[in-house]
C-alpha cells in the first residue's frame, strides 16, 4: 500500500515543481518576450505569417477571433473527413483497411477536431497509418493549439489587453509549445520502448505453434501529442493500457505528467499576465486540493477492493479488474482522475472496472471541467467561476462587483451563465432520450446503476471534450455517432464563443481605481468563496445524476 501512495505523491511533487517553469515560459511566449527558441523559430514563424497573410500587429475582436476559429476548423474538418472516407485508396495502408462508415468518419472527425478524441472504433483495425498520422495526428496538434489560443486570448482580455490574433496564437502554440515538448517527449518514449515505424504488422509464432499478428506503427510521436495536447485518442483500441503505447513505469510517469503539464502551468501563466502571482497560487492550491481529494477517494476505493469479492475471498484485496498489473491500483487511480480532470481522455486501465468512488471522481471531473480543465479552455472556465463569485459577493455587500479593476455587469454574467449552462443541456438531454427509448437506442451492457453511469459518462465525456468512456457501450451506431457529435459540438463551440465575447467586453472596460471598499480577489477568504460557488453551481447541478449512478452503486455493493 505504502509504495502506491509514494508513487502518487512523487508524481504530484513533480507536477508542482514544473508548474512555474512551464507557466512562466508560456507567458513569455504570448507576451512576446524573449525565449530560448527565438533564434530558431522566429524566421520560420515569419514565413508562416506571410503565407497566411497576417502580421504580429494584427488584432482581432471577440467575434473576429471566434469566426477565425470556426472557419479554420470547418476547413480542417472537410480535409480530414475526405482522408477518412478515401483511406482505402491512399498510401500507408499496409493492412488494406477499408474506409469507415460515413457516420463513424463524421463522429471521429468532429471528435478529434474539437480536442475531444472520443473513439467509437479500435484504432489498429479501423484507420490506416495515413489516417492516423495525417488526419488524426494533424488534428491533435491543431485542436490542442486552438484550445490553448482561446485560453490565452481569455487571459489577455481578463487582464485588460487586446485579445490578439487567432492565427498567430495558433502558430505559436504549435511551434513554441506543443512541437518542442512533443519532440523531446517522443524521443523519450522511443527510448522507453514505444515503437515508431511505418512497417506493417509483425508476425510471431506462439508457444502453441499458432501465428499471431501484432499491430504496430508510428506510435511514439502520436502518443506524446496525445498526452501533451490532452487529446487522449489512442493509436490502439486499449489506449495507454497497450504495451506499445505505455510499456513501463517510466513511460507511465512521463505520460501522466504530460497530461497535466500545460493545464496546471496556465494558472501560473495567468499570474504573470495579471502581475499577481499570489492570486495565481491561491487558485492553483484550491484546484489542487479538490484534485487530491478526488485522487484520494478513488485510490482508497481501488485499494480496498470490491466488498462482494472480498467477502468471497475472506480477505481484503485491491481491485485489479481492468488494470494493467505493471501499473497496479495506485497509478491506475491517479491516471483515471487526472485524465478526466485535464480533459485528456487517455486511459491506462478500464474506467468501467473502477469502484463506485472512481466513477464518482471521474464523473465529477467531467461535470466541473475546471480541475484542471481542458487545454486552455479549462483555465477560462475556472475564471468564469471567479467572476460569478465576485458578482455574488458584490450583491451580498451591495456594491457593483469588480474583477481586476473592471466592473462585472449584466453582459458578463449572461455570457458566464451561457458557459456554465450549455454543459448540463448537452449532457442531460441526450441522456434522458436514451433512457426514454432504451430498447431502440441504449446499447447498454451493464444493468442497474452502473448502466446509468455508463450512459451519462458517454455524453459528459463528449460535452466536456474529454473523450474517455466507461466502455462496454455499443456506441458505434448511427444514434451514438450522431448524438455524441451534437454534444461534442455544443460543448466545444458555444462556450468558446461566449468566452471570447466575455473577454472582449472586459478588455474594453475602463479600469476602476481600487478603494477601501474594493473586494480583493487575491485572498484566502475569496478563494474559499470561489470554492463554495464551484460546489453549489457546479457540483450540485449534476448531483442527482451522481446519486442515480456511482453513489447508489456504492450503497448497493456495500450493504
CA distance 150 to 30: 12
66 CA to centre of own chain:
20
Among the residue ranges 79-83, 158-162, 271-275, 471-475, the one predicted with the least confidence is: 471-475
Model pLDDT for residues 267-290, shown as the tens digit of each residue = 999 999 999 999 999 999 999 999
CA distance 101 to 87: 12
As a whole number, mean pLDDT of residues 75-96 equals: 93
What percentage of the chain exceeds 70 in pLDDT? 98
Q: What is the pLDDT of residue 499?
A: 96
Q: What is the pLDDT of residue 301?
A: 93
- pLDDT of 549 over the 70 cut: yes
As a whole number, mean pLDDT of residues 406-413 equals: 88
As a whole number, mean pLDDT of residues 484-510 equals: 95
Among the residue ranges 246-255, 462-471, 488-497, the one predicted with the least confidence is: 462-471
As a whole number, mean pLDDT of residues 89-103 equals: 91
- pLDDT of 471 over the 80 cut: no
Model pLDDT for residues 103-127, shown as the tens digit of each residue = 999 999 999 999 999 999 988 889 9
Between 206 and 224, the higher pLDDT residue: 224
Q: What is the pLDDT of residue 439?
A: 67
Model pLDDT for residues 434-457, shown as the tens digit of each residue = 888 876 666 777 778 888 888 899
CA distance 331 to 249: 9
DSSP category for residue 202: E
Cell numbers representing residue 431 in the block: 441522456
- pLDDT of 504 over the 90 cut: yes
**Residue 199 Cα distances to 10, 104, 225, angstroms:** 37, 26, 21
Model pLDDT for residues 35-85, shown as the tens digit of each residue = 999 999 999 999 999 998 998 888 999 999 999 999 999 999 999 999 999
CA distance 517 to 458: 46
Average predicted confidence (pLDDT) for the chain = 91
Q: What is the pLDDT of residue 559?
A: 66
Q: What is the pLDDT of residue 114?
A: 96
As a whole number, mean pLDDT of residues 394-421 equals: 85
Q: Do residues 558 and 355 lie in contact, with contact meaning Cβ atoms separated by under 8 Å?
A: no
Tell me if residue 206 falls in helix, strand or coil: coil
What would the DSSP string read from start to end of 387-418? HHHHHHHHHHHTS--EETTEE--HHHHHHHHH
3-state helix, strand, coil in the chain (%, to 5): 65, 5, 30
CA distance 163 to 212: 55
- pLDDT of 478 over the 80 cut: yes
- Reference 274, options 520, 555, 480, 2; nearest CA is 520
Tell me if residue 196 falls in helix, strand or coil: strand
Q: What is the pLDDT of residue 155?
A: 96
As a whole number, mean pLDDT of residues 129-149 equals: 95
Model pLDDT for residues 328-384, shown as the tens digit of each residue = 999 999 999 999 999 999 999 999 899 999 999 999 999 999 999 988 889 999 999
If DSSP states are collapsed to H, E and C, what string results for 207-264? CCCCEEEECCCECHHHHHHHHHCCCCCCCCCCHHHCCCCCCCHHHHHHHHHHHHHHHH
Within 13 A of 239's CA, how many CA atoms are on the CB side? 29
- pLDDT of 405 over the 70 cut: yes
Crossing angle for the helix pair 62-85 and 478-507, to the nearest 10 degrees:
160
CA distance 169 to 192: 33
- pLDDT of 513 over the 80 cut: no
Domain boundaries along the sequence of the chain: 399-520+541-558
- pLDDT of 541 over the 90 cut: no
Tell me if residue 34 falls in helix, strand or coil: coil
- Reference 230, options 74, 461, 489; nearest CA is 461
- pLDDT of 304 over the 70 cut: yes
Amino acid at each position: 500500500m505504502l509504495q502506491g501512495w509514494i508513487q502518487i505523491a512523487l508524481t504530484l511533487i513533480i507536477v508542482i515543481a514544473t508548474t512555474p517553469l512551464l507557466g512562466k515560459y508560456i507567458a513569455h511566449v504570448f507576451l512576446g518576450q524573449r525565449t530560448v527558441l527565438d533564434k530558431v523559430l522566429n524566421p520560420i514563424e515569419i514565413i508562416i505569417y506571410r503565407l497566411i497573410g497576417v502580421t504580429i500587429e494584427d488584432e482581432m475582436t471577440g467575434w473576429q477571433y471566434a469566426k477565425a476559429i470556426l472557419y479554420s476548423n470547418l476547413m480542417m474538418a472537410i480535409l480530414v473527413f475526405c482522408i477518412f472516407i478515401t483511406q482505402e485508396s491512399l498510401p500507408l495502408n499496409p493492412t488494406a483497411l477499408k474506409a469507415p462508415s460515413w457516420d463513424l468518419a463524421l463522429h471521429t472527425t468532429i471528435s478529434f477536431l474539437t480536442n475531444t478524441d472520443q473513439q467509437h472504433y479500435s484504432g489498429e483495425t479501423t484507420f490506416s497509418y495515413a489516417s492516423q498520422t495525417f488526419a488524426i495526428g494533424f488534428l491533435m496538434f491543431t485542436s490542442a493549439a486552438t484550445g490553448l489560443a482561446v485560453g490565452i486570448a481569455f487571459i489577455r482580455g481578463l487582464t485588460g489587453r487586446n485579445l490578439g490574433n487567432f492565427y498567430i496564437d495558433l502558430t505559436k502554440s504549435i511551434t513554441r509549445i506543443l512541437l518542442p515538448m512533443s519532440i523531446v517527449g517522443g524521443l523519450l518514449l522511443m527510448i522507453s520502448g514505444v515503437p515508431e515505424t511505418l512497417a506493417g504488422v509483425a508476425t510471431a509464432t506462439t508457444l502453441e505453434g499458432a501465428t499471431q499478428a501484432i499491430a504496430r506503427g508510428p506510435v511514439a510521436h502520436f502518443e506524446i501529442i496525445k498526452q501533451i495536447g490532452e487529446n487522449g485518442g489512442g493509436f490502439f483500441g486499449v489506449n495507454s493500457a497497450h504495451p506499445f503505447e505505455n510499456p513501463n513505469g517510466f513511460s507511465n510517469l512521463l505520460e501522466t505528467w504530460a497530461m497535466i503539464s500545460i493545464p496546471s502551468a496556465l494558472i501560473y501563466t495567468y499570474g504573470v499576465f495579471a502581475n499577481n502571482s499570489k492570486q495565481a497560487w491561491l487558485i492553483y492550491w484550491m484546484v489542487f486540493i479538490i484534485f487530491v481529494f478526488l485522487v484520494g477517494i478513488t485510490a482508497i476505493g481501488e485499494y480496498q477492493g470490491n466488498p462482494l469479492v472480498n467477502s468471497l475471498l475472506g480477505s481484503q484485496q485491491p481491485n485489479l479488474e481492468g488494470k494493467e498489473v505493471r501499473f497496479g491500483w495506485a497509478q491506475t487511480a491517479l491516471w483515471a482522475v487526472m485524465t478526466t480532470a485535464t480533459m485528456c481522455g487517455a486511459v491506462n486501465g478500464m474506467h468501467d472496472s473502477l469502484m463506485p468512488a472512481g466513477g464518482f471522481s471521474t464523473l465529477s471531473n467531467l461535470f466541473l471541467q475546471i480541475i484542471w480543465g481542458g487545454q486552455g479552455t479549462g483555465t477560462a472556465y475556472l475564471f468564469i467561476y471567479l467572476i460569478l463569485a465576485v458578482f455574488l459577493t458584490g450583491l451580498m455587500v451591495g456594491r457593483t462587483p469588480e474583477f481586476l479593476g473592471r466592473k462585472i455587469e449584466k453582459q458578463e454574467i449572461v455570457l458566464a451563465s451561457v458557459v456554465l449552462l450549455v454543459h448540463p443541456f448537452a449532457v442531460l438531454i441526450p441522456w434522458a432520450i436514451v433512457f426514454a427509448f432504451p430498447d431502440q437506442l441504449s446499447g447498454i451492457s451493464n444493468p442497474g446503476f452502473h448502466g446509468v453511469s455508463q450512459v451519462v459518462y458517454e455524453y459528459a465525456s463528449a460535452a466536456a471534450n474529454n473523450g474517455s468512456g466507461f466502455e462496454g457501450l455499443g456506441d458505434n451506431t448511427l444514434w451514438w455517432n450522431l448524438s455524441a457529435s451534437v454534444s461534442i459540438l455544443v460543448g466545444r463551440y458555444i462556450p468558446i464563443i461566449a468566452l471570447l465575447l466575455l473577454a472582449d467586453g472586459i478588455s474594453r472596460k475602463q479600469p476602476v481605481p481600487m478603494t477601501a471598499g474594493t473586494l480583493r480577489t487575491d485572498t484566502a477568504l475569496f478563494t474559499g468563496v470561489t470554492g463554495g460557488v464551484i460546489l453549489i453551481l457546479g457540483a450540485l447541478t449534476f448531483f442527482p445524476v451522481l446519486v442515480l449512478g456511482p453513489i447508489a452503486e456504492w450503497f448497493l455493493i456495500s450493504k
